[in-house]
Structure 1
Amino acid sequence: MTIEQERKAIERTLDIYRSRLDGIPDDEFDVTPPGGGWSYAEVYSHVLQANLSSTIAAEKCTLSTCRPTSKGRSVIGFFVLTFNRFPPFRVKEPKAVAAGMPAKKISKEDARNLLVKCRKRVDSVAELIRDSSPHCKIKHARLGMLNAAQWFKFVLIHSKHHLKQLERVEKKFQTG
């Protein structure tokens, strides 16, 4: 997939998040679902904050503000970026990521604003990636050293992954 195709795919995925957000009852948005787990608000908070952080990492790579390295992806990073998906088993968020960017119970308006901000960041970073060095990389907590294009691809994979989590939250409310 080209950067432009990935940008369009990210935008389509963000459109799905926006559409689902409008369909979530206001009184359920920040409520922990029956049986536990993250609320809709926490899923939106996590995915959008992580995606914003990923676009910042991608931008730093495009601006060569990181040191060039020959180090690469971890085994999980290789799997995720090669097969465009997370492993078929649940993996907990690294503690360092959870501590630095905890999922919060945000409002629906906050989620809408984060969606707009994320979309703008994706558009602006996509323009920079075309001319970036594949050797300027920043470490991802699980995936290893990623360059700008890989960080951008991660945004798409991460966004699609959490759509499944929204479906699980919805099922908990329907059956709980």
Structure 2
Amino acid sequence: MKAAGLITSIQATTAAYRNRLKAVTAATFVSTPTAGGWSYSEVYAHIFDLSILSLDAIDRCLSPDAKPRPTHFITRAILFFGAFPPLMKFKVPRQFESSVRKISIEEATQLINAFELKLEQYEEKVIQANPLLKTAHPRLGYLNALQWLRFTEIHLKHHLKQLSRIARQDNFTSLRP
């Protein structure tokens, strides 16, 4: 797990989000699926708001407030395998519930742009970070800078799959050709 490879993977995943954004109509983007759950819009707001916050966590790993801490076994397994356990459901932590909101396609594009711009600054920061110094993740315990970057990659891919499930679930026909 190297910073450059993770950033390349994150950039490719972000490109997939952009492509999906180009393929969906504004009405479909904000439509709540018939079976419930998040709309495309809510997924985009959540994932890019929290991806930006994950990059902020990398900065905290570089600060004097970071401390040497252990990483939980389950967290190490998630980071190693690159996926959340299949039967494990996570709710959005209370402090981040506001990230699940309906936004427009334009706002989603702006969030993606802000994330990509910020991501460009992080490869060198992660390389220079002390792997022993960590900051808390609300569900996974303590992560170092490289682990935060890996988490960002996993989280982005997880919600990309969610977008596919939303599309299949409602068999959306209001996609752009």
**Do these two structures clear the TM 0.5 threshold for a shared fold by scoring above it?**
yes
Alpha-carbon offset, residue 134 of structure 1:
1.2
Contact preservation (8 Å) 2:135, 2:142:
yes
- Say if 2:119 is the partner of 1:125: no
Find the aligned partners of 1:65 and 1:120 in 2 and give their Cα distance. Answer: 25
Match of 2:110 among 83, 108, 113: 113
Deviation at 1:97, TM superposition (A): 4.0
Give 1:126 deviation, angstroms.
1.7
- Once residues 66 and 9 of structure 2 are traced to their aligned partners in structure 1, the CA distance between those partners, rounded to angstroms, is 30
Structure 1 regions of 5+ residues with no counterpart? Answer: none
Give every structure 1 segment of 4 or more consecutive aligned residues whose post-TM-superposition deviation is greater than 6 Å. Answer: none
Cα distance change of structure 1 residues 68 and 164 upon mapping to structure 2, 3 Å threshold: same
Is the CA contact 1:74–1:142 (under 8 Å) kept in the aligned structure 2? no
Shift of 1:103: 0.5
Between the aligned partners of 1:150 and 1:97, the Cα distance in structure 2 is 21
8 Å CA contact retained: 1:78, 1:143: no
CA-CA distance at 1:92 after TM superposition? 2.3
Q: TM-score, normalised by structure 2?
A: 0.91
Structure 2 alignment gaps of length 5 or more: none
Distance 1:9 1:118, change over 3 A: same
| Aligned mate of 2:79, from 81, 104, 107 | 81
Does 1:66 pair with 2:69? no
For 1:92, the aligned partner's letter is F
Question: Displacement, 1:51?
Answer: 0.5
Superposed counterparts of 1:12-161, under 5 Å: 12-62=12-62, 64-69=63-68, 71-99=69-97, 101-161=98-158
User: Offset of 1:124 from its aligned partner?
Assistant: 0.6
How many residue pairs match? The answer is: 173
For 1:31, the aligned partner's letter is: S
**What's the offset of the Cα at 1:72?**
1.9
Q: Percent identity?
A: 34
Amino acid at match of 1:77: T
Q: Tell me if structure 2 keeps the 8 A contact 1:58–1:147.
A: yes
- 3-state SS in 2 of match to 1:28: helix
TM-score where L is the length of structure 1: 0.91
Does the 8 A contact of 1:21 with 1:108 survive in 2?
yes
CA RMSD across the alignment: 1.7
Q: Is the 8 A contact 1:75 1:143 kept in 2?
A: no
